[in-house]
Structure 1
Amino acid sequence: MIIGLTGGIGSGKSTVARAFETLGAAWVDADDVAREIVLPDEPALLAIQHRFGDQIMHQDGTLNRAALRDIIFKDPEQRQWLESVTHPRIRERLLQHLARLKAQGAPYVLLVSPLLFESGQHALVHRTVVVDVPQALQLSRTQQRDGVSESQVRAILAAQLSREQRLAKADDVIDNSGDHASMMEQVARLDERYRRQLNY
């Protein structure tokens, strides 16, 4: 069974995924895979460099993600072009990772993705879990974690589904606005439910 785990920026998806991992689940993060496919010499990076030039490259030949983010969140057309290049490659690589993790014998595998619904990756999973927090908390956590401006966080939020839309699509919800113990309790409940379903 593959569980899709999603939530807006700053909702704590990775923290929740690690909590599931402590209970024996395996997980792959679409953000990690998105970084993987733009490593030096990867076809996606060559296409991105060809389109945007050296302004989005570091001296060492790696992608300057901040410079690219600055361009694509100001121009929806550029973002659509970037997604057309990266999303199919991310999907293909995710399938490889998921197959490998399933073969290793975890009871179920989490696909952690901020754009689970937007990118169509929800078609790869059997159930979806949304990690939910109020928008004010998303803003403060992301600014603190990434050292970015409020306007940049709001631009990223605007590119994602609204909180209401995401919750409407969820099979399960984890409220991550409380303390760590509350989150762990919710994860343990879902873990128990997923294992029960696997026994049928």
Structure 2
Amino acid sequence: MLRVGLTGGIGSGKSEVSKRLVALGAELIDADLIAREVVRPGTPGLAAIVAEFGEGILLPDGTLDRPALGSIVFADDERRAALNAITHPLIARRSAELLEAAAPGAVVVFDMPLLVEKGLAGLQDVVVVVDVPVEVQVERLMERRGMTEADARARIAAQASREQRRAVATHVIDNSGSLEELDKRVDALWAELTARAASA
């Protein structure tokens, strides 16, 4: 089994890369999906978040109001740390269960936005960083997610810098071009990953 950590800043196109890797045959462990799973209504995760942040972060149907919670934690490092202290252990536990279930010779891609921030690069055999200039991130977040420029820059600033991510990367995928160019780069990466998994 080859453990591949995949990360990139918000708006970098990391999801496109993980989608392509799955289409090529990778097994995916998606931290964002797990993060949603562990705070569904009725979970201990959601109960702990409500206890910490109050009922105001719930929608009328009892699900988590992610934008409301985001506006609190992205503006305040201490509040973000409080949220992470609740969710990160739950995400780690579920990720470990999924890893255990993976096929022996699989290329397992851990899609982790906070791989660098949480110091998890050393746990991976390979670290792939999807990289774009900050201005491209801002542009994409404004266009595709309807964020204001200030919101986009705050989200970017709350994450590791490009330099910090690139410092732990074994592979850097430039995604400032077209989808076609990105696919070619990911295909070349996949050939390298499968060769490495086969020889492990």
- Above 0.5 in TM-score? yes
In structure 2, how many angstroms separate the alpha carbons of the residues matched to 1:21 and 1:106? 15
In structure 2, how many angstroms separate the alpha carbons of the residues matched to 1:122 and 1:61? 35
Number of residue pairs aligned between Structure 1 and Structure 2 = 198
Q: Counterpart of 2:116?
A: 117
Contact 2:121 2:168 in 1 (8 A): no
Q: 1:148-177, CA deviations, whole angstroms, 9 ceiling, x for partnerless residues?
A: 222122111111110111111101010011
Q: Counterpart of 1:6?
A: 7
In structure 1, how many angstroms separate the alpha carbons of the residues matched to 2:61 and 2:25? 38
Q: Counterpart of 2:35?
A: 34
Structure 1 stretch displaced more, 117-126 or 165-174: 117-126
Identity level (%):
44
Q: Counterpart of 2:25?
A: 24
Structure 1 stretch displaced more, 122-131 or 109-118: 122-131
Q: 1:94-120, CA deviations, whole angstroms, 9 ceiling, x for partnerless residues?
A: 1112222x23x6730111111011123
- Secondary structure of the 1:44 match is helix
Contact 1:26 1:106 in 2 (8 A): no
Q: 1:118-167, CA deviations, whole angstroms, 9 ceiling, x for partnerless residues?
A: 12333442110000011111111122222222212211111111011111
- Secondary structure of the 2:54 match is helix
Q: What does 1:52-91 correspond to in 2, within 5 Å?
A: 52-91=53-92
TM value normalised by structure 2: 0.93
- Secondary structure of the 2:40 match is coil
Q: What does 1:149-168 correspond to in 2, within 5 Å?
A: 149-168=148-167
Gaps of 5+ in 2: none
Q: Counterpart of 1:135?
A: 134
Q: Counterpart of 1:182?
A: 181
Structure 1 stretch displaced more, 48-57 or 128-137: 48-57
Give structure 1 regions of 4+ aligned residues with deviation exceeding 3 angstroms. Answer: none
Contact 1:29 1:113 in 2 (8 A): yes
TM value normalised by structure 1: 0.93
Gaps of 5+ in 1: none
